[in-house]
Structure 1
Amino acid sequence: MSSRLQDICLFNSSENVSTCVASGHEQLPDAMYAVLAVYLFSVTIFGILVNGAIIYLYFSRKEIATTSNMYVVALCICGFLIAILGVPFAAASSIRHEWLFGDGLCKVHGFLLTGLGIVMIAILTGIAIDKYIFIVQYQSHHKVTRSVTLAIIIICFVYGVTWAILPLFGWNKYVLEPARLTCSVEWTGDIGNHSYAITILFTGLIIPVSIIAYLYTSILKRVHSQRVISQRIVSHSRKIKIIKREKRIAMTLFMMVASFVIAWLPYSVYGLICILGYSNDIPLIWHTIPSAFAKASILWNPMIYSSRSNAMKKALGETYPFLRWMIPRNKGQQKLPGQTTLIQMNTSNGSDAIFVQSLCDNRVISTSL
């Protein structure tokens, strides 16, 4: 809690209640609490439905239960848990204009949101690594087995839980945020709080974003170089199609990175401002919006992956009748001039791929996700 509010509202952990000790306690406008309640309950409902639908598909349809889709379903499990165990508490508190669930659940709430948030970021990095291996280092992709993928996902969960549990043992702590609707780590305070906050900024944002940016840049360079090779052996009309596919790949990768950055960057900037000692200068509403905005990340990632994968769209359309419009048309196989075949197919990692196969040397070049 910022120093501006510490002398106004105290959190009484012995009685597990939030008690205001001054009549002039700063609050958001009533309309803002109503908007937050509607928004957070909407995130809860759609988070359960969207993530739950993909989790169900993974365990009910064999074509979706691929090795790389293990990352996607792990991401959806995190989003599902946040939608059930995290967001509803903040939504209910918005109705009453204060945290309703006591000091103990405040710590649990902060632990879950922090831990699962870091796990999701780690899994997004794992997805980028998987895409990099599949497209850039495709000769080694066969080594990425289900066991290896499962081990990586487990490491991601251990990584997130480890960072989230440290405040429970004295390195920083979980406290109510200034608007008293949700709990998180203490961004202000002594050097111990600052050291933890700065560390998770690096391990939870700067380093993962740097890795993801590097890997996806390498992927785009690889795709571009393969497009140049392909243009030498195809007609003008085929070149146009290849360029369109490359743009689609670039857009998919941009959406992946942008959803990650857009969701978490405002909250990270907010945390940095607090660390630098300017929390008192932030209006109360801006203590609230970055945290609420980050919670929507549980919707964006599964929607992006499901909308950009033909295999996922086909499964969604066949499983849920009201989504039949998502079923893509089967483009099948297209012949190119000479000894070259252009094939569009759903690959073993659950993503759509375009292969340019040169029959003279039996090499297969991946040119799409």
Structure 2
Amino acid sequence: MRSVPRQQELPEDFYIPIPLDTNNITALSPFLVPQDHLGSTGLFMSMAAFMFFLFAVGTAINILTIVCTSQYRKLRSHLNYILVNLAVANLLVSSVGSSTAFYSFANRYFVLGPIGCKIEGFTATLGGTVSLWSLAVIAFERYLVICKPIGNFAFKGPHALAGCAVTWVIALSAACPPLFGWSRYIPEGLQCSCGPDWYTIGNKYNNESYVIFLFCFCFALPFSIIVFCYSQLLFTLKSAAKAQEQSASTQKAEREVTKMVVVMVLGFLVCWLPYASFAMWVVLNRGEAFDLRLATVPSCLSKASTVYNPVIYVFMNKQFRSCMMKLIFCGRNPFGEEEETSSQVTQVSSVSTSQVSPS
């Protein structure tokens, strides 16, 4: 279904681009009636199934990450503080955002009403922003430890805790404005999940400036930090591998880290680039028609980060994975993996500074 934006005064709590010959917009309220005019029942049920998967798997895997870290003292390193912070943010999105979206898609409209919409939109924005900036903090920590841009600076627990606090301060500064009049939280896409108002133009909410703020401060900036830090990390690792061409362990570490970096950056882009790009496209192309079914896809992909984040940052760490298997299987690892004292990235950091030139 093609949607055509309308230039008229619309209800405070939602905005639906509808055909110009439709006058009774309240009859299509996403808080009152199923949105069957936007898609088939099968489409809504498919989205409900996907949201349930994200809710179940995302909630379980992030709770497991938090519990595992609390149970095993050897996992309480400064880097893992940030991983736990990431897990808390993911848990917030999966337990509130994905569960709410599942329930709404199953009913084919946002059954929790305007207040529930604001809560879900705020929670998803808060958790998503903490998640994005946690990834940037992890990248910056690896850059400091491996590349040593400021000498032998020791990144310790207090620094990690400060980094975690910064992610929440930034996230609150991004998630709170729509609650106080700078933009607003409304149903988006198929009207079964909520987010900032990308659609309305020229109204009292100043949506355009808020969308640009989010794009620059909550996507472009953390992404730039991630790309810069990991590119410097790869350069340093390649230098170390070249200096130790006869060292099989260094060569293996360089390959493993390269693979992890590629997966992390691609995962980031898959989950967040469509959402950020769609928002900016809507803002910069007012009046252009778009399919509301396609507008749902970016929101769903962003919620999928609650699953891919722990898979990449936790399960690809052999020590963390081994501890998780022991926790699940009552003290034994059925896969027989040997624990490592650190991740592959940390292995390379043991290369002496005389062999690795800081970038």
TM-score (norm 2): 0.85
Letter in 2 for 1:56: V
1:336-347 counterparts in 2 under 5 A?
346-347=341-342
Matched, 1:227 2:241: yes
- Which letter does structure 1 place at the counterpart of 2:85? A
Alignment of 1:195-234 (within 5 A): 195-231=209-245, 234=246
C-alpha distance in structure 2 between counterparts of 1:136 and 1:63, whole Å = 24
Residue 12 of structure 2 corresponds to none
State the partner residue of 1:311: 319
Distance 2:303 2:66 in 1: 19
Match of 1:284 among 277, 292, 313: 292
Q: 1:352 Cα shift?
A: 4.4
1:275–1:325 distance in 2 versus 1, CA, 3 Å:
farther
SS of 2:31 mapped into structure 1: strand
Mapped to 2, the partners of 1:222 and 1:11 lie a distance apart of 61
- Of 298, 309, 319, 2:306 maps to 298
2:239, 2:356 within 8 Å by CA — same for their partners in 1? Answer: no
Q: Is the 8 A contact 1:82 1:112 kept in 2?
A: yes
Paired residue secondary structure (2:176) = helix
| CA-CA distance at 1:313 after TM superposition | 1.7
Asked if 2 retains the 8 angstrom alpha-carbon contact of 1:259 and 1:300, the reply is yes
Which protein is richer in strand relative to its size?
A: 1
**What SS class does the counterpart of residue 122 from structure 2 fall into?**
helix
In the other structure, the counterpart of 2:101 is 90
Matched, 1:127 2:135: no
Q: Counterparts of 1:120 and 1:67 in 2: how far apart (Å)? A: 17
Count of aligned positions: 337
Percent of pairs with identical residues? 21
Deviation per residue, 1:41-85 (Å, 9 max, x gap): 111011111001110011110111111110101000111111112
- Checking the alignment, whether the CA contact within 8 Å between 2:145 and 2:349 is kept in structure 1 is no
- C-alpha change, 1:32 and 1:24, in structure 2 (3 Å) is closer
In structure 2, the gaps of 5 or more residues are: 1-14
Quick one: which of 76, 79, 99 aligns to 1:68? 79
Residue identity in the other structure for 1:220: L
Whether 2:314 is the aligned partner of 1:320: answer no
Larger Rg: 1
Query: Residue type of the partner of 1:158?
Result: V
Task: Indicate the residue corresponding to 1:341 in structure 2.
Answer: none
2:54 to 15, 31, 43: 43
Q: Could you say what the CA RMSD is over the residues aligned between the two structures, in angstroms?
A: 2.8
**CA offset at residue 164 of structure 1?**
0.6
User: Which string of whole-angstrom CA distances, capped at 9 and with x for unpartnered residues, describes residues 13-50 of structure 1?
Assistant: 9xxx8246xx9962211111111111101110111110
Contact 2:211–2:283 at 8 Å: present in 1 too? Answer: yes
1:244 aligns with 2:238: no
Structure 1 gaps of 5+ residues are 331-344
Give, in whole Å, the separation in 1 of the partners of 2:151 and 2:111: 52
Corresponding residue for residue 8 of structure 2: none
TM superposition shift of 1:207: 1.4
What is the one-letter code of the residue matched to 2:193?
T
Structure 2 equivalent of residue 353 of structure 1: 347
Mapped contact 1:86–1:109 kept (Cα < 8 A)? yes
Q: Could you give the per-residue CA deviations for residues 264-313 of structure 1, whole angstroms, max 9, x where no partner exists? A: 11111211221123575221210111111211100101011223212112
1:190 CA drift (Å): 3.2
Q: Per the alignment, do residues 326 and 271 of structure 1 end up closer, same or farther by CA in structure 2, a change over 3 Å counting? A: farther
User: How far 1:88 sits from its partner (Å)?
Assistant: 0.8
Higher relative contact order (Cα pairs below 8 Å, separated by 6+ residues): 2
